[in-house]
Amino acid sequence: MSRLKFDKKICASCETYDCLVKCRYQYLDLEKAKEERWKLIKGEDSIVLTDCVTCYSCEEYCSYGNHPFYQIVDLQEEKGIYPAPKPITNQQIKSVAPIGKRKAEELDDPVVSLCAFPEAKRSLKGNFFDGPPSFIGRDYFCNLMYLHFGKSSVIKERLPRIIDNIWNDKMSKSESKELLCYHDECFGTFTSWAPAYDIDVPFKPIYFYEYLYNQLRENADHINPLNSKVAYQRPCSNRLCPEQQHWVDDIFELVGVERVKRQFDRDEALCCGSILRMQGRDDLAHDLQKKNIEDMVAADVEFCVFNCPFCYYTLSEMVKEKNIKPIMMVDLCNLAWGDPKK
Amino acid sequence: MGNVYNSLVEIVGAEYVSNQPEETFFYSRDPGLSEPHNPDFVVMPKTTEEVQKIVLLANQEKIPIVPMGGSLTLSGLCIPLKNGIVLDLKRMNHILEINEQSRYALVEAGVSHGVLQSYLNRKHPRLMHSAPDAPPMNTVAGNVAIHGSGHLSQETGFHSEMVQGLEVVLPTGEICYTGSCSVVPKWFARAPLPDLAGLFLGWLGTTGIMTKLSIRLYPKPLKKDVLMFVTENPDYMPDIIYNVTETKMAEDVNLFAQPKPDWAEGFQHTVINITGNSEEEMSFKRRLIRRSLHKYIHNKVGGFMFVLPMIKPGMMEAPMRTLSNFADVEKGGGFEYIGVIIPTENFPILYRDAIQIAEKYRPKWSIMCRVIGRGHSMMFSYAWPFNRADPDDMEMAKKALHESNISGLKSGGVIWKPEVEGQRMMMEAMDPHTLKLLQTIKKTLDPNGIMNPGNWEAK
């Protein structure tokens, strides 16, 4: 049985309904949650299907390791209850469809997948990195984002081909067969989603922060502690690989920053709002962004640190307005990387 | 002709007159589909008085005279159809006055939009003008003469509506003023006088030569942003425009549809530019605009695309360089950019027609529209590049132009900056009394028929 398969029996025996009660975006009390839970089990129409913002959090909130989110997404597609307006969904599906612009090359380790974010390449040429080989583009894009659009079928259709492209064009000749995944979403796709659907992943995905951490540790004498307070914007895609969360704290410790205690961090992290905007939930996006940034301001942070480029695109200007510096994690490491201590 | 040449040299100096083929060649054509015609002379005057002397000479010798700004209409409006003199006004390039308080610029006829924009940015950073999406060398005077539009037209109308006063050399040589400047030495309004500016706007240089004009300036906001609403059904567009413009929150509203890149094919994109002086104001405007389209989002038939921050600057720049880049995508030196001014409710008819024509004749095309005056009308344009060196491609482009003109008129529009054939179609469709009035005015102002002959001429 697939690891991500929703288990109706487990769900039926649950009495906490954490997946729904803890949801930050649907305000269901215990009674209502119980009622909607049954509808999900039976595959019936439910307010959960229409109101879900597709943040993946329920996967993490379920105390039994069940997969309520995948049941929700599958039902959304089955019933045609799509979270986003149709033109937006259709355009998104077109916009990163594979186009056959592939380039086979022999790359030295470590190889980095930059997903579909060309501007991320800039970060790999700072003090910290010496421009490791990377690849990018629609023929190598993981496609997991379509979970946000209730379109699992697109992922199922494209992912086997994408993995083949990555292997044949970029990884088969790599010595270590290890692929650094810049974005949580790629890592989650290759380590969790693909195996769950029996899609073979012939290379070994490595969480990008693990690599960053090891590099920093091995070169500790290059690091000038930043002595700053930071807020971390945990991306929704990290909910697909929550076991990797600790790397954030580990890196922060090495570069000498304090991850402030604030309300909307870790399990309580809020969506950046980009997906909500595309779904047309503007008022909700506005409220979340306001709460999230006010929370950062109250904690008096100097930096807001991002992993997901989309979160960065969405929130960077807003945090700047509040005199908080937006920065990607790899750039924070670049900033801390100085001359070797004499 | 030798006498004329010598007389022109006497007026502007030998350096600024030419009858040499290597120079007249460039004045015989534009990048559009109109046939070339060689001028006999090209003259570049520096002052209104020089223009006046040239016009008097042309009258005396009965030589056609064609005023020219940037020559970017793409519909042959500065091509000397009956030869004669092309009057290139680019040397008349002085910005004479910026009135900060009453917000207008008084410029000579050769001042380009690029120069005015750059000047304002440097010297008057709190003011802006409405820039058309054309290469920056297009002139302010040339653009108002064709009823051009630009980045502030959604709020304030066609550029010709922003004109506050004109200095014109009449076809018979008199220097004449319209607007407040004809009474007092300030160029601040056309009202409350009889509106004589209308005798020169939209006439394509057939009733006189604008030598100076005053154009409105506007407060320049500190912040800009852009929203993009996406739909798959053109029938929604009139209502979308109505709702967005009803908020009064948008500075500029444009639409585009094109087959490339692939993500754009099959969609209508409404590009909504907003501006403001604080994040609070911007946020308020964004929310009101988003709410105005809520019913489309609720029904899942329209939504706001996530515009990547690296794409935004290109979408917010004025003029947008992407249009100029598209003009040369065929690398064949040909670009047709024609337009129809339509009532907004007629958008769906014209949109479907335009796509049909484009798919029939042009592999690369783009439809671009600008909402004018909060939705009173739209400038609906078709654009396609073509390869001038390929006769078959030229032929297909000509057919596309012809059918677009027919479609524009049939769908209830009026052809914008029409080439001679488009003018003929409009005059055929025109109320006969209006046509008679048009011809009477033209004949009265230009008894010798020297001004840009071939244009606005009824058979």
Non-local (6+) Cβ contacts of B338 within 8 A are B74, B75, B381, B382, B383, B401, B404, B405, B415, B416, B417, B418, B419, B422
Q: Is B262 on the interface with A (CB under 8 A)?
A: yes
Q: Is A279 on the interface with B (CB under 8 A)?
A: yes
Tokens standing for residue A101:
């612009």
Q: Can you tell me the distance from the alpha carbon of B162 to that of B156, in angstroms, rounded to the nearest whole number?
A: 8
Which residues of chain B lie closer than 8 angstroms to A286, CB-CB?
Answer: 283, 287
pLDDT of residue A120: 85
Mean pLDDT for B280-286 is 95
Pick the most confident of A157-161, A194-198, B257-261.
A157-161
Torsion sign (Cα): A234, A239, A240, A242: positive
**B147 in Cβ contact with B416 (< 8 Å):** yes
Mean pLDDT for B40-52 is 98
Q: Can you tell me the distance from the alpha carbon of A62 to that of A16, in angstroms, rounded to the nearest whole number?
A: 9
Q: Write down how long chain A is.
A: 342
Burial class (CB in 10 A: 0-12, 13-18, 19+), B196: middle
Does the domain at B223-316 match CATH 1.10.357.10? Answer given as no
Checking if the pLDDT of A4 tops 80, the result is no
Whether A86 sits inside 8 A of B308 (CB atoms) is no
**B367 in Cβ contact with B320 (< 8 Å):** no
pLDDT of residue B333: 85
Checking if the pLDDT of B268 tops 90, the result is yes
| B301 vs A85, A278, A321: nearest CB | A85
Mean pLDDT for A117-124 is 84
pLDDT of residue B364: 86
Q: Can you tell me the distance from the alpha carbon of B305 to that of A92, in angstroms, rounded to the nearest whole number?
A: 9
DSSP string, B178-213: EEGGGTSS----STTS--GGGGTTTSTTSS-EEEEE
Sheet with B85-88, edge to edge strand ranges? B17-18, B41-43, B85-88, B65-68
Return the higher-pLDDT residue of B375 and A5.
B375
Count Cβ atoms below 10 Å from residue B391 Cβ, excluding itself. 9
pLDDT of residue B330: 77
Whether A87 sits inside 8 A of B230 (CB atoms) is yes
Interface of B with A in 200-239 (CB under 8 A): 230-232
Checking if the pLDDT of A340 tops 70, the result is no
**Taking all residues of chain B, what is their mean pLDDT, rounded to a whole number?**
95
Checking if the pLDDT of B200 tops 70, the result is yes
Count Cβ atoms below 10 Å from residue B246 Cβ, excluding itself. 12
**Taking all residues of chain A, what is their mean pLDDT, rounded to a whole number?**
92
- Please give the helix or strand (H or E) that residue B227 lies within, else none: strand B223-231
- Please give the helix or strand (H or E) that residue B109 lies within, else none: none
pLDDT tens-digit series, residues B404-449: 999 999 999 999 999 999 999 999 999 999 999 999 999 999 999 9
Whether B308 sits inside 8 A of A316 (CB atoms) is no
Whether B265 sits inside 8 A of A97 (CB atoms) is no
A17 half-sphere exposure, CB direction, 13 A CA radius:
19
Q: Write down how long chain B is.
A: 459
pLDDT tens-digit series, residues A257-280: 999 999 999 999 999 999 999 999
Q: Can you tell me the distance from the alpha carbon of B187 to that of B194, in angstroms, rounded to the nearest whole number?
A: 15
Non-local (6+) Cβ contacts of A265 within 8 A are A231, A232, A234, A259
pLDDT of residue A217: 93
pLDDT of residue A231: 98
Checking if the pLDDT of A126 tops 80, the result is no
Which residues of chain B lie closer than 8 angstroms to A87, CB-CB?
Answer: 230-232, 267, 301-303
Whether A86 sits inside 8 A of B300 (CB atoms) is yes
**B18 in Cβ contact with B24 (< 8 Å):** yes
Identify the residue among B305, B307, B316 best suited for mutation to test binding to A, counting A beta carbons within 10 A and taking the highest: B305
CA distance A16 to chain B (A): 32
Chain B residue closest to A117 (CA)?
A: B308
Which residues of chain B lie closer than 8 angstroms to A282, CB-CB?
Answer: 287, 290-291, 304
Whether B305 sits inside 8 A of A279 (CB atoms) is no
Checking if the pLDDT of B1 tops 80, the result is no
Sheet with B95-99, edge to edge strand ranges? B95-99, B104-108, B209-216, B163-169, B175-179
Phi, psi of A229, deg, nearest 5: -100, 135
Q: Which CATH number applies to B2-88?
A: 3.30.43.10
**A290 in Cβ contact with A312 (< 8 Å):** no
Q: Can you tell me the distance from the alpha carbon of B68 to that of B338, in angstroms, rounded to the nearest whole number?
A: 19
Does the domain at B321-418 match CATH 3.30.300.330? Answer given as yes
Q: Can you tell me the distance from the alpha carbon of B358 to that of B367, in angstroms, rounded to the nearest whole number?
A: 9
DSSP string, A267-297: GGPPP-SHHHHHHT-HHHHHHHHHHHHHHHH
Q: Can you tell me the distance from the alpha carbon of B95 to that of B98, in angstroms, rounded to the nearest whole number?
A: 8
Q: Which CATH number applies to B95-219?
A: 3.30.465.10
Domain extent listing, chain B:
2-88, 95-219, 223-316, 321-418
Q: Is A91 on the interface with B (CB under 8 A)?
A: yes
pLDDT tens-digit series, residues B287-307: 999 999 999 999 999 999 999
Whether A87 sits inside 8 A of B263 (CB atoms) is no
User: What is the three-class DSSP state of A53?
Assistant: coil
Q: What share of chain B is helix, strand, coil (3-state, %, to 5)?
A: 40, 25, 35
Secondary structure E strands in chain A: 111-113, 134-135, 178-181, 204-207, 228-233, 257-259, 303-306, 325-328
Tokens standing for residue A102:
């592939």
Whether A282 sits inside 8 A of B231 (CB atoms) is no
pLDDT of residue B326: 82
- What domains can you pick out in chain A, each with its CATH number? 8-79 (no CATH), 111-212 (no CATH), 220-336 (3.40.50.1860)
Which residues of chain B lie closer than 8 angstroms to A313, CB-CB?
Answer: 306, 308-309
Whether A85 sits inside 8 A of B309 (CB atoms) is no
CA distance B267 to chain A (A): 7
Q: Tokens 């100085």 appear where?
A: A338
| B297 vs A85, A95, A316: nearest CB | A85
Chain B residue closest to A310 (CA)?
A: B308
Q: Is A122 on the interface with B (CB under 8 A)?
A: no
pLDDT of residue A342: 35
Contact pairs from chain A to chain B, CB under 8 Å: 67
Phi, psi of B3, deg, nearest 5: -65, -40
User: What is the three-class DSSP state of B219?
Assistant: strand
DSSP category for residue B25: G
Interface of A with B in 23-82 (CB under 8 A): 82
Chain A residue closest to B295 (CA)?
A: A280
ipTM of the complex, rounded to two decimals: 0.92
pTM over 0.90: yes
For chain A, percent of residues with pLDDT exceeding 70: 97
| B305 vs A91, A283, A313: nearest CB | A91
**What angle (nearest 5°) sits at the alpha carbon of residue B228, between those of residues B147 and A87?**
120
